[in-house]
Chain A
Amino acid sequence: MPLREHNGGLMTAVKATLVRDLTLLLRRRGEVLNPLVFFALVITLFPIAISPDPELLAVIAPGLLWVAALLAALLSLDSLFRSDYDDGSLEQLLLAPQPLVALSLAKVAVHWLLTGLPLALMAPILGIMLALPAGSYAVLALSLALGTASLSLIGAIGAALTVGLARGGVLLSLLVLPLYIPVLIFGAGAVQAAIFGEGVSAHLAILGALLAASLMLAPWAIAASLRISING
Chain B
Amino acid sequence: MAFDSFSEFLAMGGHAPYVWSAWGVTALLLLATVWHARAEQRQLIKGLKRRARRANSARGNAQ
Direct A–B contact in the complex, CB atoms closer than 8 angstroms:
no
Residues of chain A having any CB pair with chain B under 8 Å? none
Residues of chain B having any CB pair with chain A under 8 Å? none
